[in-house]
Chain A
Amino acid sequence: MSERILIAKVGLDGHDRGIKVVARILRDAGFEVIYTGLFQTPQTVAAAAVDEDVDAIGLSMLSGAHMTLAPLVVEAVRKLGSEIPVILGGIVPDHDLDQLTAAGIAAVLTPGATAVEIATEVRAVLDRANT
């Protein structure tokens, strides 16, 4: 059975071009992809991820709110007793990376990542989570 990825837009950011392209890239790479739609909260994403028993969560953030919202998603997932890894994609300046890793974000994908790089990174995160 193929692994399931929940991809989500949290907060008010409506930019959904990237997440839709990534959804198709992951699907083409053999993953099963579930998309939450826009305007989710950390809690709704965490609940959906646990309900759907996904293997990873992918967040797409382009509004600059990632430093506030991405850690809250990790927190909400852990609160439900789950270790599902959370991957962040979008506009993330280099100077934010250390803090995001410290907050438990499993990987960060930034503009310019190719289809192969995205699929490879997601695969690597899943492999790490399974060991």
Chain B
Amino acid sequence: MATHQPSNRELWEAVFDASTLRDADFQTMSGIPLEPVYGPDDGEFPGQFPYTRGPYASMYRSRLWTMRMFAGFGTADDTNWRFKEIIKAGGTGLSTAFDMPTLLGIDSDDAMALGEVGRCGVAIDTIADMEDLYSGIDLGEITTSMTINSPAAVIFAMFVAQAERAGTPRAHLGGTLQNDILKEYQAQKEFVFPPRQSMRLVRDTIDFTAAEMPRWHSISISGYHIREAGSTAVEELAFTLANGFAYVELAMQAGLPVDTFAPRLSFFFNAHIDFFEEIAKYRAARRIWARWMKERYGAAHERSMQLRFHCQTAGVSLTAQQPEVNIVRTAIEALAGVLGGAQSLHTNSMDEAMALPTEKAARIALRTQQVIANETNVTHVADPLGGSYFLEALTDEMEAQAEHLFGYLHQLGDGSMLEGAIKGIEENWFQGKIADSAYDLERQLNAGRRITVGVNAYTEGNDEAQIDLLKITTEDESRQRKRLDQVRHDRDQHAVDSALERIRTEAADSSVNLMPALIDAVKVYATLGEIMGTMESEFGRHVEVPVI
């Protein structure tokens, strides 16, 4: 007797039926009831390998994306206040922006920090600042993301130590450390140590979180900055996933079984203005990741194969001219992210081509997400564009072009994607490709082959007065320096010296995981700059040979 082979639809239905759904009416405004997903019985369904249509069977019917607004400026107190405003306004996650000195691992009183303290983000020198930053916020309840890379391990140590002091055990902490150092050399350029030494710190954080922090995402593998630096969407897709493969190989080389850490890898993509290409990019990304994780790296758990991503609307698509128009751009980009199945979203504010956002501009950006989530009904049906001839063809084409680029890196690394990524950086391959693409786009704009409203067309209104912008005063810089002076004065210097000595010793031995030593050092108020300087004395410093 032939046994019944369940169709993909039946398999999907079983999972969907077991899911908890949001309390909402899943119908159109005319009252037409909507299916959770549409497609042929034997087609691919969301939550099914290779997850082109989404990582989960019920997608936004169970849970909307996290509205995670990136914020940080001035001192930790200033940013703490903004965080609380975001939570009050209905934000459902926090995302911390650090200032340039913090991103480069130097203290606010370093000569190189002049003029930069608190300007692009919040200044963090010691655990005392970290305590102020999250004061009064329940870190066991709300998830936190931290955009930090070169000094990620140190900032993470401060985060874990302050949360534990405030009463939340590390195992209960949920959130994401960006910790994606490869794209720093390729695109964002906030690097400190050479690539191989930096990768050791990444390994240590993956290893530490896999063992002790089950709710934490150890890396947010980021295409966002690659795209902002000028790459095409295909390059963003390919470079980001190639970096992801490199981290997987790094952790596997360190002896971690793939399914112990892969479920905690997350992604971060750009949501740019080319609407369909962006949606195809997210779909292709999920499919490629699933296939490589299963077939090449032998992942067995579903969660290791399911690509989950945060996305942010494109900063580079914003214009200084007629800034209110940026609200429209951001709304279209955010919609692409949602139709592409994002798990988390940040929407840029209209004034960000010129400055950090004002509170009003940031609120409008959050409201943009809330309009999409609550008014448009686009959340009712998973992968609503799946099955479109156009979108499916575009998804396939982007996958094919990405695979072509993987082929190059695979060869460059002699069969290792990890080596390929590092060599690609050392040989300026990524950097050159990104710069070429940025220049191509500039030429298209200059030749009038691409139109940007308010820039090379429709410029009436450009001479109107600028909207109000946020001003960061130099008072923040001097306040922060005074605070740092005070901390240095009050701490036990002997304890700091021996904590730094331990870091030096352990940095020299690559078999040791540095996280425990880092946590102990931040607890006795060693500064970010002191810890990074100590590691630099062992690791050395990366110097980029610039290509133009």
Contacts and interface: CB of A to CB of B under 8 A. Distances in A.
A17 B229 contact: yes
| Chain A interface helix/strand/loop/mixed | loop
Given A17-B229, A69-B114, A112 B446 contact: no
B320 interface: yes
A24 interface: yes
A13 B438 contact: no
Interface residues of A, number: 36
Contacts of B354: 91, 93, 111
A112 B355 contact: no
A46 to B, nearest CB: 16
Contact of A93 (B120, B434, B456, B466): B466
Of A12, A39, A111, A114, chain B has the most CB atoms within 10 Å of the CB of A12
Contacts of A15: 189
A91 B443 CA distance: 21
Contact of A112 (B106, B321, B547): B321
Interface stretch (B30-38, B96-104, B387-395): B96-104
A110 B320 contact: yes
Contact of B119 (A23, A36, A64): A64
B442 A12 contact: no
Of A91, A112, A115, chain B has the most CB atoms within 10 Å of the CB of A112
| Chain B interface helix/strand/loop/mixed | loop
A112 B457 CA distance: 11
B87 interface: no
B51 to A, nearest CB: 32
Contacts of A41: 112
17 contacts: A12-B104, A12-B190, A17-B228, A17-B230, A17-B316, A20-B438, A20-B547, A21-B230, A21-B442, A33-B548, A37-B545, A37-B546, A64-B116, A65-B116, A68-B114, A112-B321, A112-B454
Contacts of B252: none
Contacts of B474: 68
Contact of A91 (B190, B355, B545): B355
B472 interface: yes
A67 B106 CA distance: 21
A25 interface: yes
A121 interface: no
Interface in B427-451: 434-435, 438-439, 442-443, 445-446
Interface of B: 100-101, 103-104, 106, 112-116, 119-120, 184, 188-190, 228-230, 316, 319-321, 353-356, 434-435, 438-439, 442-443, 445-446, 454-456, 466, 469, 472, 474, 543-548
Interface in A99-131: 110-112, 114-116
A75 interface: no
Given A20-B435, A25-B442, A38-B544, A112 B119 contact: no
Given A94-B466, A111-B320, A112-B455, A68 B115 contact: yes
Contacts of A20: 230, 435, 438-439, 547-548
Interface string A13-54: 111110011011101000001011111010000000000000
A64 B120 contact: yes
Of B446, B454, B466, chain A has the most CB atoms within 10 Å of the CB of B446
B101 A12 contact: yes
A15 B356 CA distance: 15
Contacts of A112: 319-321, 454-455
Nearest to A13: B100
A35 B112 contact: no
Contact of A17 (B100, B438, B455, B472): B438
A107 B179 CA distance: 38
Nearest to B190: A14
Given A64-B356, A93-B466, A11 B116 contact: yes
Contact of A21 (B228, B439, B466): B439
B238 to A, nearest CB: 19
Q: Which 5 A-B pairs have the closest CB atoms?
A: A68-B115, A14-B189, A65-B115, A12-B100, A23-B548
Nearest to B230: A17
A23 B443 CA distance: 13
Nearest to A62: B120
Given A11-B100, A12-B112, 14 more contacts: A12-B100, A13-B116, A20-B230, A20-B548, A21-B439, A35-B548, A37-B545, A38-B189, A38-B544, A63-B120, A67-B115, A68-B115, A110-B320, A115-B446
Contacts of B546: 16, 35-38
Contacts of A25: 442
A129 B100 CA distance: 34
A21 B438 contact: yes
A20 B439 CA distance: 8
A63 to B, nearest CB: 5
A3 B274 CA distance: 39
B223 to A, nearest CB: 15
B314 to A, nearest CB: 12
Contacts of B230: 17, 20-21
Contacts of B100: 11-13, 63, 65
B115 A111 contact: no
B28 to A, nearest CB: 41
A13 to B, nearest CB: 6
Of A24, A65, A69, A110, chain B has the most CB atoms within 10 Å of the CB of A65
A14 B190 CA distance: 6
B115 A69 contact: yes
A41 B116 CA distance: 13
A25 B443 CA distance: 9
A36 to B, nearest CB: 8
A112 B184 CA distance: 26
Interface string A53-72: 00000000001110111000
B466 A63 contact: no
Contacts of B469: 93, 95
A39 B316 CA distance: 22
Nearest to A15: B189
